[in-house]
Amino acid sequence: MRIFSGIPLLKLHGSMNWLMCSNKECRKISIFYDDIAHKVAESGFHIKCKNCGSNLIRLIIPPIWNKNEIYSDILKRLWQVARSRLLEDAANNLFVVGYSLPESDIYARYLLSFILNYNNSLSISVINRDPKTDEKYKQFFERINIKPDRYTFLQCSFKEYIDYNF
Ligand SMILES: [Zn+2]
Beta strands per DSSP E along the chain? 14-21, 29-31, 56-60, 93-97, 123-127, 151-154
Residue 3 pLDDT: 55
Task: Find the 77 Cα to ligand 1 centroid distance in Å.
Answer: 18
Task: Find the 19 Cα to ligand 1 centroid distance in Å.
Answer: 11
Q: How far apart are CA 128 and CA 161, in angstroms?
A: 10
Looking only at Cα atoms, what is the longest distance across the chain? 51
Count CB-CB contacts under 10 A for residue 115: 19
Beta strands per DSSP E along 24-83? 29-31, 56-60
Q: Tens-of-pLDDT digits for all 166 residues of the chain?
A: 455 567 777 888 778 888 888 898 888 888 888 777 777 766 668 889 999 999 998 887 766 655 556 566 667 778 888 999 999 988 999 999 888 999 888 888 999 999 999 999 999 999 999 999 999 999 999 999 999 999 999 999 989 998 998 8
Residue type, 164: Y
Task: Find the 32 Cα to ligand 1 centroid distance in Å.
Answer: 15
pTM of the model: 0.75
Task: Find the 57 Cα to ligand 1 centroid distance in Å.
Answer: 10
Domain ranges of the chain: 90-166
Residue type, 16: M
Task: Find the 53 Cα to ligand 1 centroid distance in Å.
Answer: 6
DSSP 113: H
CA–CA distances in Å: residue 140 to residues 8, 98, 118, 131, 137:
25, 17, 16, 14, 5
